[in-house]
């Protein structure tokens, strides 16, 4: 057990950092352990016999926790975090991106430098090829410009091509933009985007990663980066992508998370649009030609709430869960299922059961794009 002076070092953060570095302990194990024991420090304080009884942990992983002795590395990371004003976000923190908590492989700990609200009501990811055409730039510029009136955040991967252009257009049109990177925040990759990264932070955006400082931008880190891009967003938009590559991985992950995916169509002879066209053809993405379509499908139009919504629940006896969902639906014309899961504080299965009962009573109606209305 590592003994820490509370006056010198934030104890819980140190154990959170340490837990993410224990060999054989992954995202799922970390979440299971913290949920059972209540905190990272409590996990380290637990007896090995108790750790072994946790499902999926066993003697080997329990032994790895009890024998862990690299707390100095965690202390070094805490010093780095403090020096560069980086915000650590553990899965139990209120500021942790709640959309990610619905993903089974959510990182246990994130590092964030910026001011954009990662739990904003509307977040859109825009990704694409590194070797974009003028068509891709034109579509991205128009899409971002038209989305600027909808009080949202734009996320991408700070890569060359469409990613970087989406960030630049966001800054130009006063939209906070967050770059998710596949390395530690002691560096920027590609280095050519260092100035862009600073501008993103300066204009109310930020940089987000699951990797501690000194972690290099190794190739195998980027699929993990892509899952965060997809996981923190309500919708993922692909603008020009080949049939293989990071953007297609992001789209596949977004679909696996039950998030909305949109793709901008291109010429059938254009290899840079082959991926987008394939996603549309295979019904893995909605064909997107302008921002208005995305706003409509996501149910983000600003409309007046009429008294009809209140009338629908009169004389109907509802459970507490059903009342919570009705209350959310009364605030907007329509609400996405992820927003219901996020704001209700209920489990996904409880939300599904309550919505089904409300649909059977004619109180709630399902709309395209995983939206619900009254």
Per-residue pLDDT reduced to its tens digit, 76-103: 999 999 999 999 999 999 999 999 998 9
What's the CA gap between 90 and 145, in Å, rounded? 34
Residues 217 and 148 in one domain: yes
What's the CA gap between 178 and 199, in Å, rounded? 11
Q: Which segment, 8-12, 55-59, 331-335, is predicted with the most confidence on average?
A: 55-59
Q: What is the CATH number of the domain that holds 57?
A: 1.10.150.20
Q: What is the pLDDT of residue 2?
A: 45
Residues 334 and 219 in one domain: no
Residues 179 and 201 in one domain: yes
Q: Does residue 101 lie in a domain region?
A: no
End of a domain among 266, 298, 330?
298
Q: Is the pLDDT of residue 6 over 50?
A: no
Confidence of residue 10 (pLDDT cuts 50, 70, 90): low
Confidence of residue 268 (pLDDT cuts 50, 70, 90): very high
Residues 321 and 263 in one domain: no
Q: Does residue 280 lie in a domain region?
A: yes
Q: What is the pLDDT of residue 306?
A: 45
Long-range contacts of 143-147 (CB under 8 A, 24+ apart): 143/237, 143/239, 143/264, 143/290, 143/291, 143/294, 144/169, 144/170, 144/172, 144/173, 144/175, 145/169, 145/173, 146/290, 146/291, 146/292, 147/175, 147/291, 147/294, 147/295
DSSP-H helix ranges across 69-116: 71-83, 98-101
CA neighbours within 13 Å on the CB side: how many for 123?
26
End of a domain among 265, 298, 331?
298
Residues 278 and 171 in one domain: yes
Lowest mean pLDDT among 2-16, 191-205, 239-253, 323-337: 2-16
Q: Does residue 235 lie in a domain region?
A: yes
Handedness of CA 95, 159, 291, 337 (dihedral sign): negative
Q: What is the pLDDT of residue 321?
A: 87
Q: Is the pLDDT of residue 247 over 90?
A: yes
Confidence of residue 365 (pLDDT cuts 50, 70, 90): confident
Q: Does residue 1 lie in a domain region?
A: no
Q: Does residue 34 lie in a domain region?
A: yes
Q: Is the pLDDT of residue 354 over 70?
A: yes
Residues 252 and 169 in one domain: yes
How many domains is the chain partitioned into structurally?
3
Domain that holds residue 255: 113-298
Residues 271 and 322 in one domain: no
Tokens found for residue 157 = 């991967």
Confidence of residue 202 (pLDDT cuts 50, 70, 90): very high
End of a domain among 298, 321, 351?
298
Mean residue pLDDT of the chain comes to 90
Q: Does residue 252 lie in a domain region?
A: yes
Residues 237 and 353 in one domain: no
In order of 79, 223, 250, 338, 346, the CA distances from 123 in angstroms are 31, 20, 15, 12, 21
212 DSSP assignment: P
Residues 133 and 177 in one domain: yes
Lowest mean pLDDT among 188-197, 236-245, 306-315: 306-315
Residues 291 and 174 in one domain: yes
pLDDT in tens, 277-326: 999 999 999 999 999 999 999 989 875 444 444 444 444 678 888 888 88
Q: What is the pLDDT of residue 342?
A: 84
Residues 75 and 123 in one domain: no
Residues 48 and 160 in one domain: no
Per-residue pLDDT, averaged over 323-331, amounts to 86
Q: What is the pLDDT of residue 312?
A: 47
Q: Does residue 5 lie in a domain region?
A: no
Per-residue pLDDT, averaged over 335-353, amounts to 84
pLDDT in tens, 171-186: 999 999 999 999 999 9
Q: What is the CATH number of the domain that holds 339?
A: 1.10.10.10
Q: What is the pLDDT of residue 291?
A: 96
Lowest mean pLDDT among 43-52, 60-69, 82-91, 357-366: 357-366
Q: Which percentage of the chain shows pLDDT scores above 90?
A: 75
Q: Does residue 20 lie in a domain region?
A: yes
Q: What is the CATH number of the domain that holds 155?
A: 3.40.50.450
What's the CA gap between 300 and 297, in Å, rounded? 8
Q: Which residue has the higher pLDDT, 26 or 369?
A: 26
């Amino acid at each position: 057990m590592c003994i820490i002076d509370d006056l010198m070092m934030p104890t819980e953060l140190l154990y959170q950092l340490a837990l993410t570095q224990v060999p054989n302990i992954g995202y799922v194990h970390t979440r299971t352990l913290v949920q059972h024991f209540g905190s990272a420090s409590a996990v380290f304080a637990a007896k090995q016999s108790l750790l072994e009884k946790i499902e999926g942990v066993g003697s080997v992983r329990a032994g790895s926790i009890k024998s862990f002795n690299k707390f100095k590395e965690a202390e070094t990371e805490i010093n780095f975090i403090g020096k560069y004003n980086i915000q650590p976000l553990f899965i139990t923190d209120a500021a942790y991106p709640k959309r990610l908590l619905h993903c089974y492989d959510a990182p246990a700990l994130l590092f964030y430098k910026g001011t954009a609200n990662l739990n904003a009501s509307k977040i859109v990811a825009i990704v694409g090829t590194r070797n974009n055409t003028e068509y891709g730039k034109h579509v991205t510029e128009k899409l971002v410009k038209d989305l600027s009136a909808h009080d949202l955040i734009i996320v991408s991967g700070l890569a060359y091509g469409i990613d970087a252009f989406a960030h630049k257009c966001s800054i130009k049109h006063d939209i906070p933009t967050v770059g998710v990177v596949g390395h530690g925040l002691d560096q920027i990759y590609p280095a050519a985007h260092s100035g862009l990264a600073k501008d993103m932070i300066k204009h109310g955006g930020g940089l987000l990663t699951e990797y501690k400082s000194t972690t290099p931008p190794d190739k195998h880190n980027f699929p993990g980066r892509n899952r965060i891009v997809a996981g923190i967003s309500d919708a993922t938009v692909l603008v020009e992508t080949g049939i293989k590559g990071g953007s297609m991985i992001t789209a596949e992950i977004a679909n696996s998370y039950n998030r909305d995916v949109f793709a901008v169509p291109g010429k059938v002879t254009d290899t840079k649009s082959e991926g987008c066209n394939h996603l549309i053809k295979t019904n893995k993405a909605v064909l997107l030609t302008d921002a208005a379509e995305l706003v409509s499908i996501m149910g983000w139009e600003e409309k007046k709430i009429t008294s009809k919504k209140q009338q629908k629940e009169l004389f109907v006896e509802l459970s507490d869960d059903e009342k919570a969902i009705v209350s959310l639906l009364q605030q907007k014309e329509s609400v996405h299922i992820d927003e219901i899961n996020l704001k209700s504080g209920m489990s996904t299965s409880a939300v599904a059961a309550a919505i089904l009962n409300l649909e059977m009573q004619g109180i709630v109606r399902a709309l395209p794009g995983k939206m619900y209305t009254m």
